[in-house]
Amino acid sequence: MKNEFEFIETLRRKYNLSKIGDDCAVLPKDSKTDLVITTDLLVEDIDFKLEWSKPEFIGHKSLAVSLSDVAAMGAKPVWAITSIGVPEAIWKTGFGEKFYDGYMSLAKKFGVELIGGDVSRTPDKIVIDSIVAGEVKKGKAVLRSSAKVGDLIFVSGKLGGAAIALKCLENGEKYESSKYKKLLRQQLAPNPQIKTGQIIGTKNLATAMIDLSDGLSSDLAHLCRESKVGAKIFADKIPIESQISDFKFLTEDKFSIALDGGEDFELLFTVNPKKYFQVENELKKHECFHIGEVTANAEIIELIANGKSEILTAKGFRHF
């Protein structure tokens, strides 16, 4: 059985779909501008649980995950389309209104216009499809496929927060009564790195970029595969959510959570070494961590820990 990445790769080759394979498709808009566009399907009990979240958070997250893809192209989000399918019993509770309260509040923050959508009944689970389009200067979308050997690898923030929050929710933590509300919101209503993405895009800081949705080990592998390069990352440089030590029930070690935990929605980007100081300067108001470098060992990712190198396998989220 093909997993979803193999399936998409097969489609891409079979039908010669050249615009598929990045965070967003890039389309010409006018003589100065390209349009970037992305879609994310969110399914109840796969991507979220109603009992852990609330409709406003689900609305926020639906938009946030697609905004994150637009950020990963270095683009400015402009418009959005959202389809929701809701079982009748949930519809009757006013789910729709509350969903759009959360959705529109985030849309307003980033000046995104909702231009369309569809509303459907479903037999028993909520489904949401979120589409966001952004604009970027012609030819300047930051792709996954243009990392070069010798580039430095950066992440835009601490990792593992969303995965720790998920473990807490699975362990019975309730948002309303929790003293870890801020941490839980990293899972339930994450903040896309729109400003960081736009600075990277407009200032030409990165050679390649991807957002961390599946997990660092998986998303770095996607970037390396598309760029036909490898990578070396340093365990002691990986920024890990500091509250991790509060949760004694966690059985995974902190590196596994930071490497394989998904949904941080931070940006992973590669930088020509000559631009190191420019990145530090332009992004000084934003967290930014140098975690490794791009190598010539195509599709091989090495993790350097305690002076030893091990090959890292992608263990991020997969549907199939």
Shortest distance (Å) from residue 33 CB to its own copies: 9
**In Å, how far from its chain's centre is CA 141?**
16
Q: Considering the rule CB under 8 A, would residue 253 count as an interface residue with its own copies?
A: no
Q: Which residues pair with 233 in a beta bridge?
A: 292, 303
Q: Which residues pair with 133 in a beta bridge?
A: 37, 79
Q: Which amino acid is at 127?
A: V
Looking at beta carbons only, is 173 or 226 nearer to its own copies?
A: 226
Shortest distance (Å) from residue 320 CB to its own copies: 6
Shortest distance (Å) from residue 105 CB to its own copies: 10
**5-44 binders of its own copies (CB under 8 A):** 7-8, 10-11, 15, 17, 19-20, 24-25, 27, 29-31, 37-44
Shortest distance (Å) from residue 282 CB to its own copies: 29
Among 48, 52, 57, 100, binds its own copies (CB under 8 A): 100
Helix (H) or strand (E) holding 294, with range, is strand 289-295
Q: Are 212 and 154 in contact (CB under 8 A)?
A: no
The interface region with its own copies, picked from 108-116, 168-176, 192-200, 214-222 by CB under 8 A, is 108-116
The interface region with its own copies, picked from 126-134, 191-199, 200-208, 246-254 by CB under 8 A, is 126-134
Among 49, 50, 98, 127, binds its own copies (CB under 8 A): 127
Rounded distance between C-alpha atoms, residue 25 and residue 6, angstroms? 18
Tally: H helices and E strands in the chain: 10, 12
Among 9, 83, 278, 290, binds its own copies (CB under 8 A): 83
Which among 33, 50, 34, 31 has a CA at the least distance from the CA of 42?
Answer: 50
H helical segments located in the chain: 4-14, 55-71, 88-91, 95-109, 161-170, 181-188, 194-202, 216-227, 254-260, 276-282
Looking up tokens 């959570």 gives: 257
Q: Considering the rule CB under 8 A, would residue 111 count as an interface residue with its own copies?
A: no
Which among 302, 294, 312, 20 has a CA at the least distance from the CA of 147?
Answer: 294
Looking at beta carbons only, is 1 or 177 nearer to its own copies?
A: 1
Q: Considering the rule CB under 8 A, would residue 75 count as an interface residue with its own copies?
A: no
Q: Considering the rule CB under 8 A, would residue 265 count as an interface residue with its own copies?
A: no
Looking at beta carbons only, is 84 or 183 nearer to its own copies?
A: 84
Among 88, 246, 253, 310, binds its own copies (CB under 8 A): 88
Among 109, 111, 121, 299, binds its own copies (CB under 8 A): 121
Rounded distance between C-alpha atoms, residue 129 and residue 42, angstroms? 6
Cα first-last separation, the chain: 8
Q: Which two tokens stand for residue 116?
A: 């369309």
Quote the radius of gyration of the chain (alpha carbons, Å).
19
Q: Considering the rule CB under 8 A, would residue 131 count as an interface residue with its own copies?
A: yes
Residues that bind its own copies (CB under 8 A): 1-2, 4, 7-8, 10-11, 15, 17, 19-20, 24-25, 27, 29-31, 37-47, 79, 81, 83-85, 88, 91-92, 96-97, 100, 104, 113-125, 127, 129, 131, 319-320
